[in-house]
Structure 1
């Protein structure tokens, strides 16, 4: 019996040390480094209005219905960040085809001056929470927003260019704009 105890004690000690290192020390260290060097990102990339009130995160898409604002991608999870992920429909799935056709029709009604609706306005991202739309999708919405907001096309194009992703971000993806940031600039310009 003592032979088994002699073998069990080192195993229990090693397990306890691994538990403390992996479950306590490492997470605290990584969180501390994140808070020290990247405080904005470590706290959720929250965006505040001029009164210091949190209005959203630059990492999570929101729903905008005001015709004077840019609209983002559709969300199959109703922009609820507590559980991301969208249905993994095959292209042949009738539900996906119906949802896409409905979104396409809505965009054409909202933006009658546009030609073909950019794909990111009628499809959702893999997480269902993407806060960005392509520059093409932003430009597509300019006539509607100009008419509803009174901001000129030229000013809107300038705002899109100001909010465009950086060159480094574009190396791994296509040019995009953050819808919340863009809409905050529109609200400030009204």
Structure 2
């Protein structure tokens, strides 16, 4: 019996639906689940979870904070990279700020840090982190293009522009990321003989020439790049050996042991380049801190 064309098309579509449902909705998920139960793969399929004393304390693949009840970093633990999403897997992502993002949106002085319209540029975020990490670890947090107070060292220069776009004889200079009423004085007293002013909330400096000031910070700061920049996911569980080395003395002091003993644990928890040539050596922060707790329990009080 020959069915009408429209019915044959509907039957063909129904058969395709049933076949694809069985293959992709049943067989494929079961195959993937079965593969994930195989020895050697089960740990990874379950999320690479890390346990301590029978309790799950985190994942090898997702970073986490090591802070106290007040949110301050704990001195007895190694700290990871910054996270734009607070190490929340549901908020994974980057800040999407680029290297040319160097001018802050200043807060209303009446609202201060609670001003929802205010925002820090990527440069100021990096500068503020470098200063805080330097103080926390007892080293200099100085960084090129950063003010001593931890803001981006950026000027708006006003005056007649030459043919090459420069302003050889400024008439006014403003420190864009230092707000009047927040800091006492600009990071630079004068620029090309003109007194530098603090920025005022609500003023428009768009017509000025934006001039980043490098300053006298070393080309290779004591605080390494991964300590002040978040990863693309914001969940990176690793830090560089350089950042681990920066924290070693502080952790050793808090643990009541020697930097050499802590450095040994850092080396034991450092992985090399993938396949010997891809990426850079890295230290898993969670595994390192667990190793510290086992070898040198933190002193109380």
* Class of the TM-score when normalised by the shorter of the 2 chains: over 0.9
* Shift in Å, 1:81: 1.0
**Over aligned residues, Cα RMSD in angstroms?**
1.7
1:117–1:140: 8 Å Cα contact kept in structure 2?
yes
1:151–1:189: 8 Å Cα contact kept in structure 2?
no
**Residue aligning to 2:291:** 185
**Residue aligning to 1:129:** 235
1:90 aligns with 2:116: no
Equivalences for 1:104-183 in 2 at 5 Å? 104-113=130-139, 116-166=222-272, 168=274, 171-183=277-289
- Structure 1's 113 and 161: CA in aligned 2 closer, same or farther, altered over 3 A? same
* TM-score between both structures, scaled by the size of structure 2: 0.60
How many Å separate the matches in 2 of 1:170 and 1:71? 26
1:81 aligns with 2:89: yes
How many Å separate the matches in 2 of 1:93 and 1:5? 61
* TM-score between both structures, scaled by the size of structure 1: 0.92
1:49 aligns with 2:44: no
How many Å separate the matches in 1 of 2:280 and 2:124? 27
Aligned residues: 189
Gaps of 5+ in 2: 67-72, 103-120, 141-220, 297-301
Q: Which is higher, the Rg of structure 1 or of structure 2?
A: 2
Gaps of 5+ in 1: none
Instruction: Indicate the structure with greater strand content.
Output: 2
How many Å separate the matches in 2 of 1:153 and 1:110? 16
Alignment partner for residue 27 of structure 1, among 21, 26, 29?
29
How many Å separate the matches in 2 of 1:106 and 1:27? 48
